Amino acid sequence: MLKRVWGYIKALFRSTAEKAMKPEIEIEQAIQEAKKQNQALREQAAKVIAHRAQLERKIEKSADTVGETREMAKKALLKANDATNAGNADGTEKWTRAAQSLALKLQAAENNLTGLKSQYEIAMGQSDDAKTAVEQNAMRLQELAAKRMELLGRLEQAKMQETVNTAVESIGSTLDIAAPSLERVEAKIEERVANAQAKAELREATPEGAEAELREAISLAGADSKLEELKAELGLN
């Protein structure tokens, strides 16, 4: 039960951490991990190729040993033959034993050369596979680098769009706030106009208002009389 709970906690923590991680950081981590894998692959491939190179040197050395041993065995046989022709029994025995020893050495050297050649064939295949793997992984790394540029570009576009969206939402919010304010101003103005009209009507209904109206009428009559006087002087009547 404890294992299940602990597993759930770890999974929850991992999920939360992944959600909190920024996309650009995740992209960079993926690239760095790919680079590490590429480096490790190159090191392994280098070991495989180095093993093939070592086998090449061993084969050359073994081939030289086979050639030298073969020549020495032939010379021992010739000396044994010369000793036999000369009636030298001890010489014949001596060089025959030397030829036999060299023949055993030659056989071992040839067997070793054959084994090295078999290993070399395998190493050649492994070396080619390693080179191919390195090339493919290098291409994969380039693809990831290109993908990183693309993703970072898209991420930057997303950030810009988010900024624009926030600005648009802010504008909409500002307009929503401004509208009631204008309505309140309009209401206040209408209220003042109404109050002014009401006060004017009340003023006309009072004695003071009537007196003011009378004075205005007298003033207008005087003005009309004065105009008639001026017209008469000008001969316009």
* CATH classification code of 26-189: 1.10.287
For 9-65, what is each residue's pLDDT tens digit? Answer: 455 445 554 444 576 677 778 778 878 888 888 888 888 889 889 999 999 999 999
Residues 6+ apart with CB under 8 A from 117: 59
What is the pTM assigned to this prediction? 0.50
For 150-195, what is each residue's pLDDT tens digit? Answer: 777 777 777 788 787 777 777 666 555 545 555 666 677 777 777 7
Question: How many whole angstroms separate alpha carbon 196 and alpha carbon 206?
Answer: 16
Domain ranges of the chain: 26-189
Length of the chain equals: 237
